[in-house]
Amino acid sequence: MFTSKEEKRATEEQSNTSNIIGKDTTLEGSIESIGNIRIEGKIFGHAKAKAKLVMGVDAILDGNVTARTAEIAGTIKGNIEISELLILKPTAVINGDILTNKLVVEPGATFNGGCKMGHLAKEIEIGKPLSQTREAAIKRA
């Protein structure tokens, strides 16, 4: 259906997208994105971004985080796996283990858990969008 150039361009365009969970928003369930995720509200579930994940000061995440890079200023109750750089801002509160390649902990950040650094994480797998799953099912039928 798509040539490899068209698929690559579509993937690059999607990776430049940003998803925002607003300050007065509560999400019960997990979120996955090829692009960036910015959390200002609350998530009760896992968050996975193939690009960057950013959490604001009042953000709360009760679940695991997986991303290429992350900048955390809010609260996480769960494990964090970052393949490149993790920055914990002064207001960050982390209750869980960290697995990352590089870590910056700014004065004031709170971290309760284990930490392994210098780790090159595996490729971040994002589930295929529902429309692609339907197309594959139609082709098989």
pLDDT band of 119, cuts 50, 70, 90: low
Provide the domain limits for residue 40: 4-140
Backbone φ and ψ for 98, nearest 5 degrees, come out as -120, 135
SS3 51: strand
d(CA 23, CA 38) in angstroms, rounded, equals: 10
| pTM score of the predicted model | 0.78
Q: 31 pLDDT exceeds 60?
A: yes
Query: Tokens for 78?
Result: 């769960």
Handedness of CA 51, 38, 10, 13 (dihedral sign): negative
- Give how many domains the chain has, as a whole number: 1
